[in-house]
Each structure stands twice: as structure tokens, then as C-alpha cells.
Amino acid sequence: MFSIISRIGGWLPRGWGDLFLQLALYMLANTAYEIARGLADGRAVQAFANGERIIDLERNTGSFFEPALQSFFLPGSWLIDIANTIYLNAQFTVLLGFLIWLYFFRNDTYYFFRNMFFVSMGLALVGYIGFPTAPPRMYPEYGFIDTVNAQSSINHDSEFAKLLINPFAAVPSMHCAVALMIGGTAFMVTKNKFIRGFWLCWPLLVAWVTVVTANHYWADAVLGWMVAGLSFLIATRVIAQIKPETWAWSRGADEQRSGA
């Protein structure tokens, strides 16, 4: 038994200890998220008022196009089904799969991405606590339709969903922040031009999904991209300087790509 465990440990990029450390870090990050969710849950009145502020801002700037965009795509039920599926999986299934793939097959880049992701979570939590915001789907009076509730087996309002989802985490959109971080990283470390093309388009696809499912305003998507950009800078210019041999963006990733 111990020999099997030892063999598996030898196959792991940095052994069992490092793998357990990564799992512990993500558990701590999830705990922080749950605390922030609890803080925002009790502020529904403020969250709805902030949602109105976002809508008023977009109206005043002539950019309140989300209801019209959603109405345009709603007749294509198959498109909405695809959008719902991507929305429900982009933040968890895709992210988890990408983290696992990166850890095992592009380990020299994994730690930079991990740090960038944790920074983005921290920045997002500041927004969720300081500016809890009700998403568009909570404003049917403006023409928004909750497509996930309407056309999938998931109910945003169920007690189970509320255990996993912060209902007032609209600003910024972590869906869009994570999509940009994944898309940019995958574009840099993959070799196949078709795969790279897909990941290049991934942030835009996820932004469309968040708007057409009425889960985010366009402003949330832009703020999410800004969070990703700021997280990249912090991970590069601050965190990587602490432990550059492991936490800096790996030159090996660029060498792999240029040698393709």
C-alpha cells in the first residue's frame, strides 16, 4: 500500500505535500467566500438599490441594451440552452478542470495562475461586501428573464442553490474575470492553433453568456475584466517578486509555445 502511495507521489509534479497544500489553500479561499456571502445576504435592500444604480447609470449613458439583447436571442431556445449550460459550468467545472490540467501538465505556470486567481477572489470579495448588487434577473419589470430558472433544471431561488450561490454577487462578474484569466493563460501555454483560437474567444463568449442569461450587466463584465487585469499585475509585480523561482510566470511556457 505504501509503495503504491509512494509511486503516485513520485508521479505528482511536486509530491503529495504540495498537492495537499493546494487543496488546503482552495478550502481557505472557499471559506473566505462563504463569509463574504453571509455578509452580503443580509443586505438585500442595499443590493436592490445598487442594482437600480447600475441600471440608471447604463440608461444615462445610453448603454442599457441588455434587455434588447436578451430578447433578440430568446426565440432561439437552443442558444439559450447552450448559454445556460456554459453559465452553470464556466465558474466551477471549467475552472476546476483547467486548474487540474494546469497543475499536472503545465505545473511551471500553475502557481502564477493560482496566485492571480486568489488575488482576483480577494478583489471581488471587496466588491461583494462593499457593493452588494442584485443581478438583472431580479428585475423582471425591466424586461429581464431568468433563463436558468425558465429553461433549466436549476432554480436560483431554491434553498440548495442559495447555499452555493451568492445572490448579490453581480459586481464585479467573476465569471468574466475567471474566463479572461483562463483564456489568456490557455492561449499562452497551448500549442494547437484551433485550441488557442477557442481560448482567445472564451472571455467574449462568457461575457455574452452572463448578459444573455440576465445574470450580469455589461458593466459587471468590464469590471470583471479589470479585476483580472489588476490581478495579473499584482501577481506579476508584487507576489512573483517574493518567490520568483516558483511564482513568476514561467519562461518554460513561452519556450514550449515558441517551439511548437
Residue 176 lies in a domain: yes
- DSSP label of 237: I
Query: What is the rounded distance in angstroms from the CA atom of residue 160 to the CA atom of residue 27?
Result: 20
Cα atoms in the Cβ-side hemisphere of radius 13 Å centred on 132: 17
Which residues constitute the domain of residue 46?
Answer: 15-258
pLDDT: is 220 or 5 the higher one?
220
Average of per-residue pLDDT values in the chain: 85
Spatial separation of the C-alpha atoms in residues 9 and 15, rounded to whole Å: 5
CATH code for the domain in which residue 146 is found: 1.20.144
Separation between Cα atoms, residue 133 and residue 232, nearest integer Å? 25
- Give the CA count within 13 Å in the CB-facing half-sphere of 251: 2
Q: Provide the 10 A C-beta neighbour count for residue 207.
A: 22
Does a structural domain hold residue 3? no
Name the band, by pLDDT with cuts 50, 70 and 90, for residue 10. Answer: low
**What is the model's pLDDT at position 160?**
42
Confidence grade of residue 5 (pLDDT, cut at 50, 70, 90)? low
pLDDT tens for residues 114-128? 999 999 999 998 888
Q: What confidence tier does 178 reach under pLDDT thresholds 50, 70, 90?
A: very high
Lowest model confidence (mean pLDDT) among 59-63, 146-150, 195-199: 146-150
**Into how many domains does the chain fold?**
1
Q: Answer whether residue 8 is part of any domain.
A: no
What pLDDT, on a 0 to 100 scale, did the predictor assign at position 190? Answer: 92
Model confidence over 73-106: pLDDT tens digits? Answer: 999 889 999 999 999 999 889 999 999 999 999 9
Answer whether 131's CB lies under 8 Å from 46's CB: no
pLDDT at 260: 39
Query: Is there a domain that residue 251 lies in?
Result: yes
pLDDT of residue 37: 62
- Mean pLDDT confidence for 135-164: 73
Examine residue 122 and state whether it is found in any structural domain, yes or no: yes
Asked whether residue 1 is assigned to any structural domain, the reply reads no
